[in-house]
Amino acid sequence: MDRWPRVTGSRTPSDRPAPHDERRREHTLPVLVTVDEAAELLRTSRRAIYIMLERRQLPGVTRIGRRVLFRGADLLDWLDQKRAPSPEE
């Protein structure tokens, strides 16, 4: 059920995306992602996603009836803000 490319093996510095290429990742996600897709992206469980929803910890939430969707770009931006700086930065 993988929808996004996975990296296998070790990466060399030339394999890493340049900072200006970071935005390209947005195009690999649909505009709206489901709870299951958000859980896969965040590498967590559906239950954890619903708990984070209750606590209002996730961005880009859209509710259509009982269905919960997330804006993919908002999730990626949120993840980028949460990352710790690397030693090179």
pLDDT average, residue stretch 2-19: 51
In a domain, 14, yes or no: no
Q: Is residue 71 part of a domain?
A: yes
The CATH number given to whatever domain includes residue 39 is 1.10.10
**pLDDT greater than 80 at residue 11:** no
Model-level pTM greater than 0.75?
no
Residue 16 resides in a domain: no
Domain count, the chain: 1
**Position 1 in a domain:** no
Whether the pLDDT of residue 20 is over 80: the answer is no
For the chain, the average pLDDT equals: 80
How far is 87 from 35, CA to CA, in rounded Å?
A: 33
The predicted pLDDT at position 8 comes to 45
Q: Inform me whether the pLDDT recorded for 23 exceeds 80.
A: no
β partners of residue 63: 68
Q: How far apart are CA 59 and CA 53, in angstroms?
A: 9
pLDDT(88) > 90 = no
For 45, 70, 78, the CA distances from 9, given in Å and listed in that order, are 25, 30, 27
5: in domain = no
Q: Report the b/e string of 36-70 with b at 16+ CB within 10 A.
A: ebbbbbbeeeeeebeebbeeeebebeeeeeeebbb
Assigned domain for 18 exists: no
What is the span of the domain harbouring residue 70?
29-82
* Percent residues over pLDDT 90 in the chain: 57
Q: Flag whether 54 is in a domain.
A: yes
Asked whether residue 44 is assigned to any structural domain, the reply reads yes
